[in-house]
Chains A and B, each alone.
Chain A
Amino acid sequence: MGDLFSAIWDVGTTETAYTAAARFAVVLAFAAAGEWVAERAGTLNISVEAMILGGAFAAAMGYHATGSVAVGLVLGAIAGAVVASVQAQMSHRLTADQFVVGLTLNILVLGIVGFLESEWKPSTRTASVVEVPLLVDIPLIGPALFGQPWPFYLIYLVVPLFAWLVHRTRWGLEVRSVGENPQAADVSGIDVNRRRRQSIYLGGLSAGLGGGYLLLGQVGRFDPGIVAGRGFIALVAVIFGGWTLRGAIFGCLLFGSVLSFRLTLPGLGYELNNEMLSSLPSLVTIAAMAVFAHAVRQPEALARPFIRGLK
């Protein structure tokens, strides 16, 4: 055990560990911010994985075709929204079960993307690193937060934007009421399923953008297995954060640091059990939830479809 603590200390004082953590966390944060909006409106949207993957592929194609990172990111966001529109229309217009639709989309998009990728073979590179002057010189966390490929900085826009939308606008109030008590919202004249669909679109845009960043800002080469469960981790981060945006982002950072911990260890000459390290993020979350869970409350109507007149 002493070994483990000294390992944590060593990793905690390494600059690259923070950079890696921020990179893991930011993809999760894009996805989790969008997922958070969808969940506040009452959809437990499990097609995030598909949204990220679709976004990453569209970004690859966009970059391949035009050579511009910005075009790639825009296409990525659009692809995320396309996946979202299937989820939204199926589950909140046709009243199909949202879990079935989500699970299916995850399989379907993986299939489509894998097929198209083997047909077109997009070639891509990572975007250039832009350092924010002065701020990058902060010890330890400076390079992690301000010395990243430029799409990274979009997260500083997306998160406050979503927080403002949900907590400070009429639309956001309606979204939250739809997630808490759809019957009451319906009676007061809000189109419940439309708000839910809109919130899923927003989630898709954001997750697609995250996919675009994952590809163009981090990995650099497209592969159908690129997402590797990040969508599910983002989903978990939202629950972990107790359905607050602050908590969800904290969850992303926590996951990011655990993942980077695992990545940085071998470089520092430690050898720990690989299987244990891979299960570490899950175990840490379960332990954290066991301590904090009694203090959180989920949106009352989460994962319950709304059909007027029935309860």
Chain B
Amino acid sequence: MISGLMVEAVGFEWTAVGEALLNGSVLKPGRWGGTIGVTIPLAMVAIGTIISTKAGLVNIGQEGQLVVGAAFATFASTRVPGPGPFVLLLILLAGVVGGSLWSGIAGGLRYWRKVPEVLTTLLLVAVASNLVGYGLKNPWLLLDPEAKVGNRNLVSEQLPPDTRMPRITLWGNEFPVSAFLAVALILLVGWMLNRTLWGYRLTVVGKNRRVAQRFGISESAQGMIAMLASGGFAGLAGALMLTGGDFANYRLVPGFSVNIGWIGLLVALVANNRASAVIPMAFVFAGLRTGSGFLASTGIERRVTDVVQGLMVLALLLPPAIMFIRERRRALASARSRV
């Protein structure tokens, strides 16, 4: 049924498109590596989103938090001297700080002035990209002093090789080791959300404010922690993109985030806010992305891949929804027959 929908809507050589998508993302040798490289930041953004959603907050500004995180990471990389691994750690930390600073503004305004966080997070996306644009025009912030001003090359300095995330090769697929870090973090967060007091408090705050109050759980403190953590993960995603090597060649460039924040948000929503579903979902979306890159290189109109991506998401949504409706119909019918 899903494929039927797709054929109908796209209207031409569906099989060829599908084949190219699969070839580009998983089937061709060595393609897993690139897909994993994209999965990492997507999964990080998504797990952060799950934390804030758990606390009943609607954070839709991951794109901006990611950009600011990446900018902080870049700034740290150009300013801090020291041995490579130490600097790498600092870069990741700087990313986390940048991201949580950005979401912290929204969180602070939410609990101090009651400004809806939907609005502030969304607006801060635009501000973030302008801020980074400004930084990239000024050598004392982010601009590479050696970039040619005449050419208007707005790029930051490239990371020196010893501060990059090491890449390893498994069965012919090359990917950054941060994949393991990401998996560990997701498991950790999943465990904390479902099995610790902190996770329980968040859930209570998100589900019912009044109960939280009676329990003596501070809504603003929990919400603020959730918001900071959520932005921190988005910022970490930015730092991982910078050091990982699958994006923009270890430099910060305008438009660095390439919609990873938005798609990561989508991953969290499609995963229905379950930490366990984040990794497979992020992988599916990453596959769509690398696959459509491959698709574009085979000469099919680039816009078509957007359409395919959108339809895939809608198709992913349909089965659970239809199952749900069937279930209700059956329940209703059995209830009627009993009467």
Chain A residues within CB distance 8 Å of chain B: 44, 90, 94-97, 99-101, 103-105, 107-112, 114-115, 118, 224, 229, 232, 235-236, 239-240, 273, 275-276, 278-279, 281-283, 285-286, 289-291, 293-294, 298, 303
Q: Looking at the complex, which of B29-37, B39-47, B113-121, B187-195 is the stretch in contact with chain A?
A: B113-121
Known contacts being A236-B122, A279-B127, is A111 close to B266, with CB within 8 Å? Answer: no
State whether A96 touches B317 (Cβ < 8 A): yes
Majority DSSP secondary structure for residues of A touching B: helix
Residues in B whose Cβ lies below 8 Å from that of A240: 119
Looking at B127, B311, B318, which has the most chain A CB atoms within 10 Å of its CB?
B127
Q: How large is the interface on B (under 10, 10 to 19, 20 to 34, 35 or more residues)?
A: 35 or more
State whether A110 touches B127 (Cβ < 8 A): no
State whether B306 touches A108 (Cβ < 8 A): yes
State whether B124 touches A282 (Cβ < 8 A): yes
Of A108, A229, A273, which one neighbours B314 at CB under 8 angstroms?
A108
Known contacts being A94-B325, A107-B306, A118-B303, is A100 close to B270, with CB within 8 Å? Answer: yes
State whether A111 touches B134 (Cβ < 8 A): no
Of B58, B114, B309, which one neighbours A107 at CB under 8 angstroms?
B309
Q: What 17 additional pairs, Cβ within 8 angstroms, besides A94-B317, A236-B119, A285-B123?
A: A90-B314, A99-B60, A101-B317, A103-B266, A112-B307, A114-B306, A115-B301, A229-B126, A236-B122, A239-B119, A275-B131, A286-B109, A289-B109, A289-B115, A289-B120, A298-B116, A303-B58
State whether B321 touches A275 (Cβ < 8 A): no
Of A104, A289, A291, which one neighbours B313 at CB under 8 angstroms?
A104
State whether A114 touches B123 (Cβ < 8 A): no
CA distance A224 to B266 in the complex (A): 22
Minimum Cβ distance to chain A for residue B253 (Å): 16
State whether A111 touches B118 (Cβ < 8 A): no
Residues in B whose Cβ lies below 8 Å from that of A293: 109, 113-116
CA distance A232 to B308 in the complex (A): 24
A-B contact count (CB 8 A): 128
State whether A285 touches B114 (Cβ < 8 A): no
State whether B310 touches A111 (Cβ < 8 A): yes
Residues in A whose Cβ lies below 8 Å from that of B308: 111
Tell me, yes or no, whether B265 is within 8 Å of chain A by CB. yes
Known contacts being A293-B113, A294-B113, is A115 close to B307, with CB within 8 Å? Answer: yes
Tell me, yes or no, whether B133 is within 8 Å of chain A by CB. yes
Residues in B whose Cβ lies below 8 Å from that of A282: 123-124, 126-127
Minimum Cβ distance to chain A for residue B331 (Å): 10
State whether A115 touches B304 (Cβ < 8 A): yes
B304: nearest chain-A partner, CB-CB: A115
Residues in A whose Cβ lies below 8 Å from that of B297: none
Known contacts being A96-B321, A232-B122, is A107 close to B310, with CB within 8 Å? Answer: yes
CA distance A100 to B131 in the complex (A): 28
Of B109, B119, B310, which one neighbours A108 at CB under 8 angstroms?
B310
Q: Can you sample 30 A-B contacts with CB below 8 Å?
A: A90-B314, A94-B317, A95-B321, A96-B317, A96-B318, A97-B317, A101-B314, A103-B266, A104-B266, A107-B306, A107-B309, A107-B313, A108-B307, A108-B309, A108-B310, A111-B304, A111-B307, A111-B310, A112-B303, A235-B122, A239-B119, A275-B137, A279-B130, A281-B126, A282-B124, A282-B127, A289-B115, A290-B113, A293-B109, A293-B113
